[in-house]
Amino acid sequence: MEFKGETQRQINSAGFRIKNVYVSILVIGIFISLFSGIVYGADLTAKEILDQVEGTVLFAGDGSARIELITESKRGQQRSNTLQIYRKEDEDNTEKQLLEYLRPADVAGTKLLSITKSESKDSEIWLYMPALGKERRIATQEMQTKFMGTDFTYEEISGTAAYEEDYESERLDDDVVDGNKCYVLRLAPTGESEYTFVKMWVWQDEFIPVKIEFYGRGDKLRKILETADWKKNESDKWEPANVVMSDIVSGTKTIIKIEETSEADIPDDYFTVRYLRRH
């Protein structure tokens, strides 16, 4: 069918108006989406941010990792250790982690097993030392003591610290760390703790804690946990290549360098007390 004259002009004009309306709606939709995202980020409460935090373990997902753990004295003297880490998360969200010292010879075979059930957040931590020839369970009152001469507590090195359950959170002004916009949270312990409060910097784009400050008696800064060189692993999860825990009081540091990671299904028997005695 052919249209001529005024009829054709009317159709063209109507089509132009419809097209303009469509474009306007599209632009408005995009604007609303962007604006909503900004408002949502700005309106997030401290608890909502903390609930989305991916965790504070050394690496994410199931599998294993080889790390170099360096302890540094106040005088700058360093001791290097090589460890293998195995991780697994069951279908019921129970998190399991096994650390094993490979080198040097005087600590080789030392193992630390942690099992954390998500529903109850009850954590079991077991330490096996070859020199003693037996394992022992770390008591609740020992959870916040230093692990194997490092600046990490048993709770921190095993990744069993439950900030969302054990701390009341408050959102502070946003900040920037290594070029990344971060939410800043102030966390006050709800129960007994060696810290009076903790400050956590959370990468806004990925909800990853990139820096944590620990404050003790008199609200004095005691320790700082810093991460760097973040990259995605085989599971498409972010992990840092370097982690540093600095003890401000003693002047010591513990440096962790993740040398390699491997995505694999780790056998269940790795995460048993019986396995700790295997050589």
Q: pLDDT tens digits for 206-224?
A: 999 999 999 999 999 999 9
Domains (range + CATH), the chain:
59-277 (2.50.20.10)
pLDDT at residue 162, as a whole number: 64
Residues 130-146 as b/e (b if ≥16 CB within 10 A, e otherwise) read beeeebeebeeebbeeb
End-to-end CA distance of the chain: 87
pLDDT at residue 30, as a whole number: 30
Q: Quick one: average pLDDT of 29-48?
A: 55
Residue 2: pLDDT band with limits 50, 70, 90: very low
High-pLDDT (> 70) share of the chain, %: 78
Mean pLDDT rounded to a whole number for the chain: 82
Task: Pick from 28-42, 53-67, 83-97 the range whose average pLDDT is largest.
Answer: 83-97
Q: How far apart are CA 71 and CA 241, in angstroms?
A: 17
Both structure tokens of 278: 């295997």
pLDDT single digits (tens) 4-17: 455 445 444 444 34
Question: Strand, coil or helix: what is 44?
Answer: coil
pLDDT single digits (tens) 129-153: 999 989 999 998 898 899 999 999 9
pLDDT single digits (tens) 152-201: 999 888 876 667 667 899 999 999 999 999 999 999 998 888 899 999 99
pLDDT single digits (tens) 251-274: 999 999 999 888 888 999 999 999
